[in-house]
Amino acid sequence: MADSFGPMRDDGAGTAGDGVQGMGPDGSAPRKEPIRVLVVDDHALFRRGLEIVLAAEEDIQVVGEAGDGAEAVDKAADLLPDIILMDVRMPKRGGIEACTSIKEVAPSAKIIMLTISDEEADLYDAIKAGATGYLLKEISTDEVATAIRAVADGQSQISPSMASKLLTEFKSMIQRTDERRLVPAPRLTDRELEVLKLVATGMNNRDIAKQLFISENTVKNHVRNILEKLQLHSRMEAVVYAMREKILEIR
């Protein structure tokens, strides 16, 4: 497991905000309380490194740590953190398996998988289990805090190198599923379909707003309407559903 971070993206996919410390990614008012973070990894040195990095951020507070998935569930129930940074593969209980239990004991907690695994199956399983982000450990230290703020602000995060793999997994999922439509898919407006297609490419709200020449708040409203219509909980789940139901196809 890597104990250091390396460079990450620069293409705008999967990151929200170059905002001032303590500000929302859209330049909104500072948060009144720091973002409470639980760090979960089986390497104590890696956990310590994250704590040191995040200690420099005034709007982020590490409230606890855990060395495996089982301990993570207990700590999440006790501490009720806002964000959980969690490795995928750990002894006793892996991060993906722990996701489901964490969602039961701390439903408001948002989970970011931070891992060396670039396997499509791990990524897809993490999304199905309720993870809001999936970042490779090669990202830079600065991007960790940026990702935490973005997820706390309601956005999904995914490393750009994994975004194309996610789309590949969606395609194979459609081929494997062989059409099992349970109910007619809810109708999305043309604009909602446009937004959904851009979400599927890994673009964040700010970049979607620029692409469609609309405000970032309008994008947020469209995403919220899409989730409500599809009765889903995250942007990534919406893309999975849309591709399964043939609402949109990515070639």
Q: Are 59 and 137 members of one domain?
A: yes
State yes or no: pLDDT of 15 exceeds 60: no
Asked whether residue 164 is assigned to any structural domain, the reply reads no
Is there a domain that residue 138 lies in? yes
Residue 238 lies in a domain: yes
Q: Could you tell me if 120 and 148 lie in one domain?
A: yes
pLDDT given at position 71: 94
Residue 133: beta bridge partners?
A: 112, 157
Q: Tell whether 57 and 101 lie within a shared domain.
A: yes
For 224, the domain range is: 179-244
Query: In total, how many domains does the chain have?
Result: 2
**pLDDT for the residue 161:** 67
Give pLDDT, residue 211.
92
Same domain, 61 and 116: yes
Q: Would you say residue 172 lies in a domain?
A: no
Residues 152 and 184 both lie in one domain: no
Residue 44 shares a structural domain with residue 151 = yes
Residue 191 maps to which CATH number?
1.10.10.10
Last residue of a domain, one of 129, 159, 189: 159
Specify if 1 maps to a domain: no
How many Cα neighbours within 13 Å face the side chain of 221?
A: 7
Do residues 130 and 191 share a domain? no
Position 165 in a domain = no
For the chain, how big is the Rg over CA atoms in Å? 18
Residue of 67 and 158 predicted with greater confidence: 67
In this structure, the answer to whether residues 79 and 136 fall within a common structural domain is: yes
Q: Do 51 and 92 share a domain, yes or no?
A: yes
Residue 166 in any domain: the answer is: no
Specify whether 80 is located in the same domain as 151.
Answer: yes
99 or 157, which is more confident: 99
Per the confidence metrics, is the pTM higher than 0.85? no
Opening angle at CA 141, ends 86 and 210, nearest 5: 95
Model confidence over 172-188: pLDDT tens digits?
655 554 444 444 556 88
146, 191: one domain:
no
Q: Has residue 22 been placed in a domain? A: no
- Degrees, nearest 5: CA angle 212-154-110: 145
**Per-residue 3-state assignment (H helix, E strand, C coil) for 8-45:** CCCCCECCCCCCCCCCCCCCCCCCCCCEEEEEECCCHH
Sheet-wide strand order for 110-115: 60-66, 35-40, 83-86, 110-115, 133-136, 157-158
Residue of 55, 53, 108 lying closest to 79 (CA atoms): 108
**pLDDT > 70: percent of the chain:** 72
DSSP state of 156: -
List Cα–Cα distances, 156 to 32, 78, 112, 172, 176, in angstroms.
22, 25, 9, 22, 26
CATH of the domain at 41: 3.40.50.2300
Q: Domain end: 128, 159, 190, which one? A: 159
Question: Are residues 188 and 84 part of one domain?
Answer: no
